[in-house]
Structures are given as C-alpha cells and as structure tokens.
Chains A and B, each alone.
Chain A
Amino acid sequence: DAKTTQPTSMDCAEGRAANLPCNHSTISGNEYVYWYRQIHSQGPQYIIHGLKNNETNEMASLIITEDRKSSTLILPHATLRDTAVYYCITPYGGATNKLIFGTGTLLAVQP
C-alpha cells in the first residue's frame, strides 16, 4: 500500500474553507486516493475519491497534483459538524475493499 502522511491536527474557522493536505509520494499508477472522516463515536464515513483528475461532490472537493504525489481535500464552508478525524487512504492495488487507515488529521472547526 502506498503510505500517506497527514498533519496530526488543524483548526478552521466556521464558514471558512478547510484545506486538508495529504502526501502519498509512493503512490502507484493505478492507486486511487480516498478520503474518509470519522466523527467522534461514529464509524468512518466516505467523502470522496479520485485518481488523477480533480473531483467534486456535495460534500467536498479533491485536488490531486499532476504528479499524484499529494492531494488536498477541501471543505468549502466548514461547519461545527465537520469537526472530525479525516483519513487520506490509498487502498491496495486500487481495490476499495481493504482500507489501510493511518492516524488521520483531527480537524477542529472553531465558532
């Protein structure tokens, strides 16, 4: 599995964009980048995934650099309910079924 590196924690003001970085310098050509988040005392929740093009859905945007060695998850207007641990994952061989979680980034949205 490609290894991912994320900051341990980040703060963001409510209503502002939250930009969460992830490094995955050893990613291979067929490995997707997935983002999940885990709100306290709940199971992880899928957010978004991408291969090499930028992606957007109703929850977030994913920006992947051209060399695919890093990516940024963007929450355009963070709310208090977005406070959670965010995990950047590159599943083995492109398969989504064996997620290898790191320790993630604790995003604290401040009022």
Chain B
Amino acid sequence: ETGVTQSPTHLIKTRGQQVTLRCSSQSGHNTVSWYQQALGQGPQFIFQYYREEENGRGNFPPRFSGLQFPNYSSELNVNALELDDSALYLCASSLKGKGHNEQFFGPGTRLTVL
C-alpha cells in the first residue's frame, strides 16, 4: 500500500464522451504525475503537476488535461474519447525539491472506450 488512491477503479465510456479520473496523493507529497499504460506496454508519461501548475508534459494531445488542487489531489480529464484511449491510467505522487525521491503509484483506473 502506497497511500495513493485512485477512483474509480474501472470505467466504461463510449467514443466521443468525456471522462474525469481522480487521484489522492500520499500525505506530504506535492507532485503528481499521470501515466497511461496500454495493454502489454510500459506506462507512458502524460504530464506532471507541481504546486497546482503543469510541470512537464509527454506526447499527448491537448484533449488530455489535468488539475492539481491545494490539497495536492489531482484530476485527469480526457475529452472526445477515442478507442485508443482504452488503457490503465496511473497516478504517482512524489515530493519534489528534496533530492531524488521515488514516485509512489496508485493502483490505477482501468478505462474502456467502446
């Protein structure tokens, strides 16, 4: 158990819809990163938030957006869902600014787009 929680655990949407995934960071952590993991692949970095500001982004289109709240919890929003968006979405929290610290991952949200 890492202390990082995600909701919901599973979600089914249809193409074109919008989805919001939620992440609660480990206590004391100020940074959250989001990853997409397609079946049989390693996680792919989507973006990172530090103190409520986006702090780096991977190769994902603008319809992937996020928020980080003052309590450091976070949301990932995906608009205009496509079939290829079906994946496991992982969030990871860490404490930025204190040397090299590992990321603590949540269990993920399994999104299926039909």
Contact = CB atoms under 8 A, between A and B. Distances in A.
A1 B96 CA distance: 19
A24 B112 CA distance: 35
Interface residues of A, number: 21
Interface centre among B96, B104, B105 (most CB of A within 10 A): B105
Contact-residue size bin, chain B (C-beta under 8 Å from the other chain):
20 to 34
Nearest to A92: B56
Interface in A40-72: 41-46, 49
Interface of B: 2, 4, 31, 33, 35, 40-45, 48, 50, 55-56, 58, 90, 92, 94, 96, 100-108
Given A43-B2, A44-B43, 15 more contacts: A32-B100, A41-B107, A43-B105, A43-B106, A43-B108, A44-B92, A46-B104, A96-B94, A96-B101, A97-B50, A97-B96, A98-B33, A98-B45, A101-B44, A104-B42
